[in-house]
A and B are shown apart, each in its own frame.
Chain A
Amino acid sequence: MITLGTPWGLAALAAIPVVIYFHRRAAGRRRTVPLASLWSPAATDARHARVRRRVDAVLVLRLLMVIAIALGLARPGWPTTAPRRHVFVLDASASMQSREPGGTRFASAVTAAERALGGLPAGDAIAIVRGGSPATVAHGVSIDRASLRRVLADLRAGESRKDLGSALATAAQQLAGGDGTIHVFSDVRETEKLIAAASRVGIRREAVLVHRVGAPADNVAIVALDAAAVPESPLDHEVFAGVANFTPAPRTVSVALYGPDGFRERRQVMLAAGERGGVIFVTGASPWLEVYLEGVADALPLDDRATLVLRDEPLRVLYASRGDRFIGAALHAHPGVRVREIPVERLDVESHRTITEDVAVIDGAAVPAGLAVPALVFAVGETSQALRSAEVPITEWRRDHPLLRRLDLSEVRVASPAVLPVSASDALARSALGAVARAFADSGVRRVEVAFAVRRSNLGQLPTFPIIVVRALDWLTVGRGVAAPNVRPGETVRLVWPGTPSGPVTVRGPDGSVRTATVQHGRVQLAAGETLGRYDVSDGQTLAAFAVRLLDPEESNVRVRATPDGGDPALAPAVAVEGAVAERQVRDVSRWPLAIALQLLSVEIWLLQRRARARSS
């Protein structure tokens, strides 16, 4: 049975009366002549009837042309008899776990897939791709409906963010470059983005059929979680938790903080409809922390909790020392710092090696050329004259700079005229003689320089000095943070392994699953699983951890959902199908009638030319 891809193309048939009208008007034309009595037109006889037939043949040709063009515009086709290949892509992202009256969205997707499976011709081959992180082929290309149904029934949604691009790429591989249809069962909001993703992996727009599932739902989610050290109290952390209210009404939610030792603190946050807010906990250092939203009954529970693993490997510091006890004391006072101390005279030798430390502290020596790590440098501008100078106070300092915020340097006295050759605006601190400290970045590597030696001032004796050192280390190693490694599902985890530099390790997930990984050159690299939570990595003696978190507002917002017709999202059907349904199993033959129309045009031109030649002769 012939089908029409774009039936509105048949509207071109409306041109038929127009063609007949103009044809008749041209054929039965009125001509004004000077003297009509000279003419004796003949009545229709057999000879003229033949002429009439010839003229009518032109009309028939023209009408056939109109019909052919209309048919071509309507894109006719008929079902192909050859079996086709289909790939079912089931979105297994976190939002598909949204709870709905009839079950989860993923359950709706599975139901829709089973229904679509039942509607396909018996000879068609189907593959099933689970659109998780990463996308996996759940069932290879097969015509075994029972097997396919079993796999569909066993599929479960994951807890990862949506990545249908990789799922479409996997589906395209299953098509093996052949003609086929990819059925996407998803709650994807923006179909055009999905189509664009399909185009990027070489899939034609017509080959993608989107089965949209899910109705808008209310949800409150944790969308951010991070921690930072408290400079004044290195053993404490500031934990920031961001919460978003994806409901149409204001919500007050309790945010609870848990550590290895159990409950620690609870705070409430009020959020307007659609608003995002946050709470800050100050808590003691801990290997990991978990944040829960309490008393929230929403559609998506998995984003009501998040885990944060804190960095437990120390900050490695290379200390090129002249034996200054104040600097050494300040460094060793920090519990998260591991110091390797060398005589400053050996710095040139060390710098030619690959320095493995995170940061260097140099006292009384120039920074070696090519030093690739951040550095805190003391006594940069010290000269022999400095030893004989009187003390001068620090008069100005940058109170807005992270190093000196809320610190008082007015009591600092410097027994040195040493100054840094920088402008006043670039100085971090100044005495009456000039700049005595600066913080800057050299080719992307940060550096803090102090012009004078600590022992030639009273700075080391003041309580602010350890704080300045800690803050300098934090500022120099910005981005390292205290929270790491925390990744999203499917991302690659890279751990600096504190134990043996090579060997196997086991990875235990939050769901109790265990897998193995390998330590190479003191590092472990593995792909994070889909399950959210804390993962413990162990070689039997050493223990490390990382966390997998969702923290994705796009995935957690299960309310906003564009409808195909731009209508009220709340009225969107639970399952909607978008895409090239007509092309699904139809062989497009729209070019044929257009080609026929061209041929008819050629015949008409030939007829008219022949007629003109006959008349002129």
Chain B
Amino acid sequence: MSALLPEEGVLRRLGRLRPEWRASVTAGLAGTRAGARAGTSRELLGLKPYETGDDLRDVDWSATARSGRVHVREYRHELDASLWLLVDASASMAAGSPPKLAYAAALASALGYLALTHTDRVGAMVFDETITARLPVARGHGQWRKLRELFDDIAAGGRSDFGRAVDLLLRRETRRGLAVVLSDFYPAEAFVRGLQRLAGSGLSVVALHLLSDEELEPAIDGQVELVDAETGEVRAGWIGAAERAHYRSALTRLAAHVETACSDAGARYVRVSTATPILRCLQVDLVRGRVLGRAAP
């Protein structure tokens, strides 16, 4: 990952870029913007008489003494936003040069850095059949170090079970925010269902579809036995120009299916070639896909 991930100094120069929430989700909720209702931030909104359920730590003893009635302090409700990075580490992600998983890890680290720069919370989850690694959301520079350590230790293997990852995320995390899924979306149907569930839960969802050049233009010819990286399924036969054309068509259909599903679910879809440098992907591809936006100076 270190070879793909730009230096921190380079990422720092991209500081104006920040993850962009979708309009429907971000109204009044983005980052450090304050909400209209009371909340748990330290910005004092006012005082109110104590009601059952109020936190005793919020009792304003001065006002209570003056009025002779228990008053509690009301604070401005700060709408926290979290960035969840969901990285597919199934066996199919080992394909390509560089491997799609390494590219995904580097891209996720870079996205995490940009979010942490803008004091967003960042968490990560790496999954295949199980949740192989998880980093709870947090903010600060230490979180970025943990994020890199997390992605340094991952390896591709097993089959994808995106539904399990969605289950865990929705069960453990109630905050709203942005979920970025980095995967090759094999098999597509399982991912589509998961993406729809994520989007339906109120999270802003971005699907980054990683494809390597070897997948886009495979150099397979002649008599071969094709072995599925995840299922072990074997397809033997002759591969020629027609078969390669058929493959490219199938791949295009799969990508279109994922894109359509994302669109229907209100998620954003960006296709990323692993041959694209991470920096260019951040500055061009993800900005065009409105995954990253330019913050006001």
B224 touches A36 (CB 8 A): no
Q: A468 within 8 Å of B by Cβ?
A: no
Q: B120 within 8 Å of A by Cβ?
A: no
Q: B223 within 8 Å of A by Cβ?
A: yes
Closest residue of chain A to B95 (Cβ to Cβ) is: A34
Q: A35 within 8 Å of B by Cβ?
A: yes
B237 touches A43 (CB 8 A): yes
The residues of A that contact B226 with a CB separation of less than 8 Å are 30-33, 36, 39, 41
Q: A117 within 8 Å of B by Cβ?
A: no
A41 touches B238 (CB 8 A): yes
List residues 204-263 of chain B with CB under 8 A from any CB of chain A. Answer: 215, 218-231, 233-240, 242-243, 246-247, 250-251, 254
Interface segment, one of A45-53, A277-285, A328-336, A509-517? A45-53
Q: A354 within 8 Å of B by Cβ?
A: no
List residues 7-34 of chain A with CB under 8 A from any CB of chain B. Answer: 27-34
Tell me, rounded to whole Å, the shortest Cβ–Cβ distance linking A37 to chain B.
7
Residues A28 and B225 in contact in the complex (CB < 8 Å), given A34-B186, A36-B234, A36-B235: yes
The residues of A that contact B93 with a CB separation of less than 8 Å are 34
Tell me, rounded to whole Å, the shortest Cβ–Cβ distance linking B64 to chain A.
65
Closest residue of chain B to A36 (Cβ to Cβ) is: B228
B221 touches A42 (CB 8 A): no
Tell me, rounded to whole Å, the shortest Cβ–Cβ distance linking B207 to chain A.
17
Q: B82 within 8 Å of A by Cβ?
A: no
Tell me, rounded to whole Å, the shortest Cβ–Cβ distance linking A548 to chain B.
85
Tell me, rounded to whole Å, the shortest Cβ–Cβ distance linking A55 to chain B.
6
The residues of A that contact B218 with a CB separation of less than 8 Å are 33
Q: Give chain A's interface residue range (CB within 8 Å of chain B).
A: 20 to 34
The residues of A that contact B251 with a CB separation of less than 8 Å are 38
The residues of B that contact A401 with a CB separation of less than 8 Å are none
The residues of A that contact B239 with a CB separation of less than 8 Å are 39, 41-42
Number of interface residues of B (CB under 8 A): 37
A39–B229 CA distance with the chains assembled, in angstroms: 13
A42 touches B224 (CB 8 A): no
B227 touches A36 (CB 8 A): yes
Which of B93, B184, B222 has its CB near the most chain A CB atoms (within 10 A)?
B222
Residue in B229, B236, B240 whose beta carbon sits within 8 Å of that of A48 in the complex: B240
Tell me, rounded to whole Å, the shortest Cβ–Cβ distance linking B279 to chain A.
25
Q: B187 within 8 Å of A by Cβ?
A: yes
Q: A615 within 8 Å of B by Cβ?
A: yes
Tell me, rounded to whole Å, the shortest Cβ–Cβ distance linking A533 to chain B.
89
Closest residue of chain B to A41 (Cβ to Cβ) is: B237
Q: B92 within 8 Å of A by Cβ?
A: yes
Interface flags for A372-414 (1: CB within 8 Å of B; 0: not) read: 0000000000000000000000000000000000000000000
Tell me, rounded to whole Å, the shortest Cβ–Cβ distance linking A48 to chain B.
4
A31 touches B223 (CB 8 A): no
Tell me, rounded to whole Å, the shortest Cβ–Cβ distance linking A501 to chain B.
101
A39–B246 CA distance with the chains assembled, in angstroms: 7
Residue in A28, A34, A48, A615 whose beta carbon sits within 8 Å of that of B92 in the complex: A34
A41–B225 CA distance with the chains assembled, in angstroms: 9
Residues A51 and B240 in contact in the complex (CB < 8 Å), given A33-B218, A35-B187: yes
Tell me, rounded to whole Å, the shortest Cβ–Cβ distance linking B5 to chain A.
23
A residues in contact (CB < 8 Å) with B: 27-44, 47-48, 51-52, 55, 615
A-B contact pairs, 11 of them (CB 8 A): A28-B224, A32-B95, A33-B95, A33-B218, A34-B229, A35-B184, A35-B228, A36-B235, A39-B246, A41-B237, A41-B239
- Closest 9 CB pairs between A and B? A41-B237, A36-B228, A34-B92, A48-B238, A38-B250, A30-B225, A35-B186, A34-B95, A32-B227
